[in-house]
Amino acid sequence: MIRKLLAFLGEYKRQTILTPIMVTGEVALELMIPFLMARIVDYGILGDGGMGYTIRVGLLMILMAVLALVFGGLSGKYAAEAGMGFAKNIRSGLFKQIQTYSFANVDKFSTATLVTRLTTDITNTQNSFMMVVRMAVRAPIMLIGATIMAVSINPQLSLIFLAAIPVLSISLYLIGKSAHPRFLDMLEKYDGLNEKVQDFIVNIRVVKAFVREQHEEKKFIADAEKVRDAQLRAEKLVILNMPIMQFTIYTSIIAIIWFGGNMVIAGTFNIGELSSFIMYILQVLISLMLISMVFIMLIISRASFSRIIEALEEEPVLNDKDSDVNLTLQDGSITFKNVNFSYNDDPNNLVLKNINFTVESGQTIGIIGGTGSSKTTLVQLIPRLYDALNGEVIVGGHHVRDYKLKTLRDQVAMVLQKNVLFTGTIKENLKWGNEQATDEEVIEAAQAAQAHDFIMAFPNGYETELGQGGVNVSGGQKQRLTIARALLKKPKVVILDDSTSAVDTATDAAIRQVFAEKLNDVTTLIIAQRITSVADADKIIVIDDGEVNGFGSHEELIKTNEIYREIYESQSKGVNDNE
């Protein structure tokens, strides 16, 4: 798992390797300092080294400390470069991977978790990486180095290390091990709480309209309590680290003073060495502490790692590897042959059943059917947003799988039912359809979608900034902008998936008129609720429960198709009575 992530080091490998090297240098120098101190005490002060020796060794110590500072500083610098570069690469890599996803992949993850993976999870990974390249190297080297130094000074007294190290490591391990599930539990409770808040914010109008503030608060408090308790349960274990650490250090110091002191009294050990010994055991135990911290950090971040990797490893359900780069759509004709479709590839759970129809290039096709009758699913197969389970979808003379996805989708413009505008000006948003479009082309598309007039009514016209998601335009205006955006592609096929539902009838009619007059060579598929939106289409497909129930012109269907007639009557009742 970790190896997979490390592949993202890329051009920052050099810094990644340099960091531990610098750390090693720093640690080696730091280890020498207590040793030199012992020489000053035992040879300079107590022995016959005298003033000159003391000053010489002292200066050497200062030099070493300064060198260690340089090494340490460099290690910090390299760690930052490596860590941030690493994070950048993962972020790019993941973002890129998500760009290759198909609709089915996006559906599987949901947008919220993809965002978390790209933000919080990567930050966690970056932090633990930096910590690891610095601490995970520093601590073991310090541990081993200090132990070697201690053994070389006094092997007998080093036996204290042998006792202290296992005691501390085992207790740290046990704490870490039992804390891990509690931390996971805490994070889970945390997610639950965040979900509640998200729910609340999205639903704020409903909450307020039904005066359910108290109710929401009760739910929130219950969750907040769970978070509080889970956090307490997790953290009260981790805080044991500190006192246990202190206890071990203190015990070791006393043992060193007692046994070492007795050796000093017996004349087999020196006072300076004794105090350097205390320094070394401090360094050893602090290293252990750091190792356990790194450990806990890694364990906590593991969830993040695996979430990132899961998203990275997600293979796009659709790919165009075997497609022909040069293949383009001949025209806007569409044929469905025995098409079945299921969102989970389950032949027993078909959403579309045995769909057959042919649309000639340039025709206008209405698609009508009840709520949940799979109208949207049907048209999504045309730009190959999903693949049919079996059967053939032929667009522009070739099977949709034979085209490069980009070629196909550039020629088949689809206006989604749940559509989104992006931060930026109106013009920038429209140019999504075609980046090279001239201002005239942009205006032309806007006019066709009946958007030009209201755009011009804004003080800044086409340069009006849209907030995220297009918050400062109304639903109907948004729909018209998304239609204009699709038209800018100059496609061979246009699919409007209930794209004028929030547009008033007069504007809706005007848009259809443009389609009929100016865009008569473009195949147009219109999913609509209103019969009027489809009545003048060349042909109308009536979908019911995933099957084609009727296919024909308005006049034919009125006569032959029961469902169509019912829909027609449900809408015409009223005004007709008055005529």
Partner 1 sequence: MSKAANATKPARGPIGGPRAPRKPSNLWATVLRIAQYMRDDKWILFVVFVSIIVSSLANVIGISFLQVIIDDYLEPLINQPNSELMGGFVSVIFLIGWIYLIGAISTYVFNRLMVGVSTRTLYKIRIDLFQKMEALPIKYYDTHTHGDLMSLYTNDIDTMRQVLSNSVTSFITSFITVISVFIMMLVFSWQLTILVLVMLVVMLLVVKKVGGKSANYFIKQQQELGQVNGYIEEMIEGQKVVKVFSRQKRVLQDFEELNEQLRVSATWANTFANILMPIMINLSYVLYAITAMVGGVLTIMGALSLGTVIAFLQYTRTFSMPITQISQQLNAVLTALAGAERVFKVIDEKPELDEGYITMVPVVMNGDGTVNESNERTGHFAWKEVQDNGSAVLTIVRGNVVFEDVTFGYEKDKTVLNNVSLYAKPGQKIAFVGSTGAGKTTITNLINRFYDVPSGNISIDGIEINKIKKSDLRQALSMVLQDTHLFTGTVKENIRYGRLNATDEEVVAAAKLANADTFIRHLDHGYDTVLKSDGGNLSQGQRQLLAIARAAIAETPILILDEATSSIDTRTEALIQKGMDRLMEGKTSFIIAHRLSTVRSANAIMVLEHGEIIERGDHDQLIEQRGKYYQLSAGMFELS
Within residues 411-470, the interface with partner 1 by CB under 8 A covers 413-414, 416-420, 422-423, 432-433, 435, 454, 467-469
Report the 10 Å Cβ neighbour count for 374.
21
Query: What does each C-alpha distance from 33 to 137, 250, 276 come to in angstroms?
Result: 20, 22, 9
Does 200 bind partner 1 (CB under 8 A)? Our answer is yes
Token pair 């012109």: residue: 553
Q: Which of 246, 330, 460, 560 binds partner 1 (CB under 8 A)?
A: 246
Nearer to partner 1 by Cβ, of 75 and 323: the residue is: 75
Shortest spacing between CB 338 and partner 1, in angstroms: 25
Cβ-contact 511, 500 below 8 angstroms = yes
Cβ-contact 365, 551 below 8 angstroms = no
Stretch of 145-153, 163-171, 389-397, 571-579 contacting partner 1, by CB under 8 A: 571-579
Nearer to partner 1 by Cβ, of 394 and 416: the residue is: 416
Does 79 bind partner 1 (CB under 8 A)? Our answer is yes
Shortest spacing between CB 512 and partner 1, in angstroms: 9
Shortest spacing between CB 1 and partner 1, in angstroms: 23
Shortest spacing between CB 109 and partner 1, in angstroms: 9
Judged by CB under 8 A, the chain residues 263 through 292 that form the site for partner 1 are: 264-265, 267, 271-272, 274-275, 278-279, 282
Nearer to partner 1 by Cβ, of 218 and 518: the residue is: 218
Does 236 bind partner 1 (CB under 8 A)? Our answer is yes
Shortest spacing between CB 292 and partner 1, in angstroms: 14
User: Cα dihedral angle (304, 306, 311, 315), rounded to 10 degrees?
Assistant: 170
Q: Which of 4, 6, 17, 73 binds partner 1 (CB under 8 A)?
A: 73
Q: Which of 195, 310, 521, 545 binds partner 1 (CB under 8 A)?
A: 195
Stretch of 139-147, 324-332, 345-353, 527-535 contacting partner 1, by CB under 8 A: 527-535
Shortest spacing between CB 506 and partner 1, in angstroms: 5
Integer Cα distance of 415 and 497 in angstroms: 6
CA dihedral for 456, 459, 463, 468, sign (positive or negative): negative
Shortest spacing between CB 463 and partner 1, in angstroms: 16
Nearer to partner 1 by Cβ, of 325 and 420: the residue is: 420
Shortest spacing between CB 345 and partner 1, in angstroms: 17
Shortest spacing between CB 472 and partner 1, in angstroms: 7
In whole angstroms, what separates CA 343 from the centre of its chain?
23
Does 503 bind partner 1 (CB under 8 A)? Our answer is yes
Integer Cα distance of 507 and 451 in angstroms: 9
The angle formed by the CA atoms of residues 49, 51 and 55, to the nearest 5 degrees, is: 100
Q: Which of 14, 177, 228, 518 binds partner 1 (CB under 8 A)?
A: 228
Report the relative pairing of strands 390-395 and 398-399 from DSSP bridges: antiparallel
Cβ-contact 355, 541 below 8 angstroms = no
**DSSP assignment string, 202-262:** HTHHHHHHTT-HHHHHHHHHHHHHHHHHHHHHHHHHHTTHHHHHHHHHHHHHHHIIIIIHH
DSSP state of 458: S
Does 227 bind partner 1 (CB under 8 A)? Our answer is yes
Report the relative pairing of strands 424-425 and 465-466 from DSSP bridges: antiparallel
Q: Which of 1, 4, 14, 50 binds partner 1 (CB under 8 A)?
A: 50
Q: Which of 11, 243, 321, 322 binds partner 1 (CB under 8 A)?
A: 243
Does 211 bind partner 1 (CB under 8 A)? Our answer is yes
Cβ-contact 310, 2 below 8 angstroms = no
Judged by CB under 8 A, the chain residues 354 through 383 that form the site for partner 1 are: 368-372, 383
Stretch of 115-123, 173-181, 297-305, 436-444 contacting partner 1, by CB under 8 A: 115-123
Does 297 bind partner 1 (CB under 8 A)? Our answer is no
Cβ-contact 150, 256 below 8 angstroms = no
Does 298 bind partner 1 (CB under 8 A)? Our answer is no
- Report the amino acid identity of residue 136: A
Does 321 bind partner 1 (CB under 8 A)? Our answer is no
Report the relative pairing of strands 547-552 and 493-497 from DSSP bridges: unpaired
Does 166 bind partner 1 (CB under 8 A)? Our answer is no
Does 308 bind partner 1 (CB under 8 A)? Our answer is no
Shortest spacing between CB 85 and partner 1, in angstroms: 6
Does 559 bind partner 1 (CB under 8 A)? Our answer is no
User: Cα dihedral angle (458, 460, 462, 467), rounded to 10 degrees?
Assistant: -80
Does 514 bind partner 1 (CB under 8 A)? Our answer is no
Judged by CB under 8 A, the chain residues 528 through 547 that form the site for partner 1 are: 529-532, 535-536
Integer Cα distance of 19 and 25 in angstroms: 10
**DSSP assignment string, 6-59:** HGGGGGGHHHHHHHHHHHHHHHHHHHHHHHHHHHIIIIIISSS-HHHHHHHHHH
Does 106 bind partner 1 (CB under 8 A)? Our answer is yes
